[in-house]
Structure 1
Amino acid sequence: MNEDQAVFALGALAHTQRLRVFRALVVAGPGGLTPSVLADQLGVARNTLSFHLKELSHAGLVTIEQQGRNLIYRADFPQMNGLLGYLTEHCCQGSTCEASDSGACTTC
């Protein structure tokens, strides 16, 4: 992931509703969710949700699959991991980073 891609992805996540949608899709895992299930879970109007899903999709953080008449949205885990990798690429001044169970680096 390059700097422009990271800025675009972070910009997409820099909204409360989009962050909630993305986190819900991460929790859902590879099975993903339909927009109606997401809207019900998050208490968001479907037209508002559609806008946020489009933004996350354009940023490459969400994939869409047509299954019959339904759309299934999934978090793009490789893209998410690429963003996390970009953000932590030079942590600990290039030394081996030993992350704790909480995910925080214990050597920095």
Structure 2
Amino acid sequence: MEEAAVVKALAALAQPVRLQVFRALVIAGPRGMVPSTMAEGLGIAPSSLSFHLKELVHAGLVTQERSSRNLIYRAAFDQMNAVLGYLTQNCCEGAACEVQADGAACQC
């Protein structure tokens, strides 16, 4: 993954509402969510949600699919994992590390 893409993804998540939206989509998993459900569940005005979803889509962290009249948004897990991989690729000074059972941190 290129550094510019990582910076774009992290910049998109560096805003509280977008971080909440992204986390909600991660929880929803592959089925995704429609904007009305997100807006209601997160207490965000639909127009504001639309702006934040556009930014997340632009950063490649969220996908959008039309299903009849609805738009379904999903977290782009492959992109999220690529960002995490980029951030941790040289952890433990390049040596192999083990992720703890609780997933909290790696053990070098």
TM-score by length of 2: 0.97
Deviation readout 1:31-85 (Å, 9 max, x if unpaired): 0000000001100000000000000000000000000000000000000000000
Q: How does 1:17-36 map to 2 (within 5 A)?
A: 17-36=17-36
Residue 84 in 1 paired to residue 45 in 2? no
Question: Partner residue of 1:71?
Answer: 71
Aligned residues: 107
Task: State the distance in 2 between where 1:59 and 1:83 align.
Answer: 11
- 1:105 matched to which residue of 2? 106
Q: Please say if 1:49 is aligned against 2:24.
A: no
SS in 2 for 1:71: strand
Which sections of structure 1, spanning at least 5 residues, go unmatched?
Answer: none
Q: Secondary structure at the match of 2:107?
A: coil
Q: Could you list the runs of 5+ residues in structure 2 that have no partner in the other structure? A: none
Deviating 4+ runs (over 6 angstroms)? none
Q: Tell me how large the CA RMSD over aligned residues is.
A: 0.6
Aligned letter for 1:74? R
Aligned-partner Cα distance in 2 for 1:8–1:97: 27
